[in-house]
Structure 1
Amino acid sequence: MGMTAAVAGASGYAGGELLRLLLGHPDIEIGPLAAGSSAGLDVTDIHPHLPDLAGRVFVDTSALAGIDVDIVFLALPHGASGAVAQALPDGVRVVDLGADHRLADADTWRRVYGGDHAGAWTYGMPELPGAREAIRASTRVAAPGCYPTSVTLALAPLLTAGLVATEDLVVVAASGTSGAGRSLRANLLGSEVMNDLTAYKVGNHQHRPEILQALRGVLDAPVSMSFTTVLAPMPRGILATCTARLRPGVGGDELRDALHAAYAGEPFVRVLPPGRWPHTAATLGGNAVHLQVTADDEAGRAVVVAAVDNLCKGAAGQALQCANLMLGLAETAGLTAQGVAP
């Protein structure tokens, strides 16, 4: 008998992606699946792409209180995970895919998300220095957001190597519509997003404080960043273009060497060969981050481009990667760096 996982918010996009991954996991069985407004529905009414879950019915989230499982995944809207986590037994391991437990500073949480701060948990980005060991030792882990995953993994090696300045970071990142969740919104209708690109939450995106917290954590120094997000007419994927001022004498070879040194042996980070640039379709369905870097000598800036599947490495895949570490399983179990094409 394998280990058992419960999922709250299993009817959403990230929840559905997590179920897809768990169905292929060699060591984890799928336990209770909770969903608020979808409670009582067959799982395949919401996720017809998961036929092996036919006959399974979503339960109300309150049914998870006191549950006896090995791990619980919270794939809930921002602000909803804290109360659910408090109702779970103390000993059960929990991975939160939402933002409730990512930020350490309560004032920043209230400013960005509103409401009460539920407290900070171990930050679940295994590729950051020291993070893998901290995740293994934790029973409560906050999985990072999709934008923070791409931007942090792109810039952290250059900053820690001292190759770029810590101020004047500039990021422009495009995301597919699934990053906004499954709730019906007029601006996310197909007829609204097709043949269109639009910037949104310019200058005040909720993920900027999380990115700055992660980068400051690896540097132990102040960091400043301009962060602009763009809604792209595709269901999933993120392409983040990140630039920073080069330190004197730094060129493209040093930048590439820093990425290779940081991610040598990492199962889910791929530094692409020179001249090949990341694109979102190549990461579809995989738990991989694709990276490329160059020195724009005329502008005096490093340019790092990162691509991820926002629902996999940016959400469900990364959560499962953390769960594997917490449960003492192979970190790569149930996951692949390979994408789906066409």
Structure 2
Amino acid sequence: MTISVAVSGASGYAGGELLRLLANHPEVRIGAITAHSNAGARLGQLQPHLLTLADRLLEETTVENLAGHDVVFLALPHGASGAIAAQLPPETLVVDAGADHRLSDPRAWEEFYGSPHSGTWPYGLPELPGQRRKLKGATRIAVPGCYPTSALLALTPGFAAGVLEPQDVVIVSASGTSGAGKSLKPHLLGSEVMGTMTPYGVGGVHRHTPEIEQGLSQVSGQPVTVSFTPTLAPMSRGILTTATARLRPEHAGLDAAAIRQIWLDAYDGEDFIHVLPEGQWPSTKSVVGSNYVALQVAYDARTGRVVVCSVIDNLVKGTAGGAVQSMNIALGFPENLGLTTLGVAP
């Protein structure tokens, strides 16, 4: 079964990555490719790596241009997806790579994004407990944020097993500059980011904080509070997340091997998540270009804290790869179709 797919925001990083993956998907025919300010331009001028699509012209991002496809991917700025999605036919599979439909609490959306809430869609992170069932046959899917993808996959096994305390969860993530999008920003110039690291969104104000808390709370069955600090690293792609949480007092007797086994059991059989052998630590370079998540788990017995490090490519598993993976599930394709666990090196 060949499906027709439209991609909005095709001149940006997320849209370009979607096209790269979809161009190699054996069941996809790429239809409309749209943009806003770059409408009318040849795609090859803006995404020269997409050779097979280079001569395609970018159309305006309108409901008329997106309608009529089996699947529509919305790779638009936050706050721009809701109005377009509401006008697309209910039978069309709409996959939103923006934040508009991720949060279930309208108050949290309004607090962190400052606009009316557009509603809540099934969450496109299949590895969360019970999530594949919600995605199968769905016609609306909200792709997780890149930071929440890395953080939720790092800590979910411990909360699902009930061994982690729901308070005093600390997450620090380092991201490549592509996570900030393709718009020109002085602080993201090469001369500004090379050779330095910078924190931002410090003090619980980053927009992905409520999304991380929402996911962990659903897994845990009780409210989880998170201290989340993102940092900007001098690389184009990748996220390294270090997440720590205390063991519950009733599980204080667990040793490092037993804790590690919880993560091994949770991700046994998952195509895209791998707990590395003991002594090997994840690196962002190892996952570049892939839908692969590498994890390592340790136990700090002195403080009673479990420490999990995870790495993802923020543009693949953190955005476009997660979107294609979720589309595959919704349409009944093999989950790994068009995706790879192989990175690019050096």
Q: TM-score range by the shorter chain?
A: over 0.9
* Contact 1:66-1:87 at 8 Å conserved across structures: no
How far apart, CA to CA, are the structure 2 residues paired with 1:340 and 1:19? 18
Output aligned runs, 1:74-113, within 5 Å: 74-113=74-113
State the Cα distance separating 1:202 from its structure 2 match. 0.4
Output aligned runs, 1:223-238, within 5 Å: 223-238=224-239
Output aligned runs, 1:117-266, within 5 Å: 117-203=117-203, 204-247=205-248, 248-266=252-270
State the Cα distance separating 1:336 from its structure 2 match. 0.6
* Contact 1:65-1:88 at 8 Å conserved across structures: no
2:281 alignment partner AA: W
2:270 pairs with 1:269: no
2:110 alignment partner AA: R
State the Cα distance separating 1:337 from its structure 2 match. 1.0
Output aligned runs, 1:21-60, within 5 Å: 21-60=21-60
Distance 1:297 1:53, change over 3 A: same
How far apart, CA to CA, are the structure 2 residues paired with 1:110 and 1:63? 25
SS at match of 1:123: coil
* Contact 2:290-2:342 at 8 Å conserved across structures: yes
* Contact 1:197-1:231 at 8 Å conserved across structures: yes
How far apart, CA to CA, are the structure 2 residues paired with 1:333 and 1:223? 34
* Contact 2:63-2:84 at 8 Å conserved across structures: no
> Identity rate of aligned residues, in percent?
54
* Contact 1:154-1:306 at 8 Å conserved across structures: yes
SS at match of 2:274: strand
User: Over residues 177-225 of structure 1, what are the superposed CA-to-partner deviations in whole Å (9 max), with x where a residue is unaligned?
Assistant: 0000011111111111011101001021100100000111112101111
Between stretches 49-58 and 307-316, larger displacement belongs to 49-58
How far apart, CA to CA, are the structure 2 residues paired with 1:147 and 1:312? 12
How far apart, CA to CA, are the structure 2 residues paired with 1:195 and 1:65? 43
Instruction: Name the count of aligned residue pairs.
Output: 342
How far apart, CA to CA, are the structure 2 residues paired with 1:54 and 1:326? 29
How far apart, CA to CA, are the structure 2 residues paired with 1:301 and 1:105? 30
Distance 1:265 1:95, change over 3 A: same
SS at match of 1:307: strand
State the Cα distance separating 1:87 from its structure 2 match. 2.0
Structure 1: tracts of 5 or more residues without a match? none
SS at match of 2:164: coil
How far apart, CA to CA, are the structure 2 residues paired with 1:75 and 1:118? 16
How far apart, CA to CA, are the structure 2 residues paired with 1:145 and 1:76? 13
User: For 1:336, which of 331, 334, 340 is the aligned residue?
Assistant: 340
After TM superposition, the score normalised by the length of structure 1 is: 0.98
User: Over residues 150-185 of structure 1, what are the superposed CA-to-partner deviations in whole Å (9 max), with x where a residue is unaligned?
Assistant: 100110101121222111001111000000001111
User: Over residues 204-263 of structure 1, what are the superposed CA-to-partner deviations in whole Å (9 max), with x where a residue is unaligned?
Assistant: 110010000011111210111111110001001000000111231122112211111111
How far apart, CA to CA, are the structure 2 residues paired with 1:282 and 1:29? 30
State the Cα distance separating 1:48 from its structure 2 match. 0.2
How far apart, CA to CA, are the structure 1 residues paired with 2:22 and 2:75? 14
SS at match of 1:94: strand
State the Cα distance separating 1:66 from its structure 2 match. 6.5
RMSD (CA atoms):
1.1
* Contact 2:8-2:74 at 8 Å conserved across structures: yes
Structure 2: tracts of 5 or more residues without a match? none
What's 2:12 paired with?
12
How far apart, CA to CA, are the structure 2 residues paired with 1:50 and 1:65? 21
User: Over residues 73-104 of structure 1, what are the superposed CA-to-partner deviations in whole Å (9 max), with x where a residue is unaligned?
Assistant: 00111111101111211210111000000001
What's 2:315 paired with?
311
After TM superposition, the score normalised by the length of structure 2 is: 0.97
* Contact 1:72-1:92 at 8 Å conserved across structures: yes
Between stretches 257-266 and 159-168, larger displacement belongs to 159-168
What's 2:327 paired with?
323
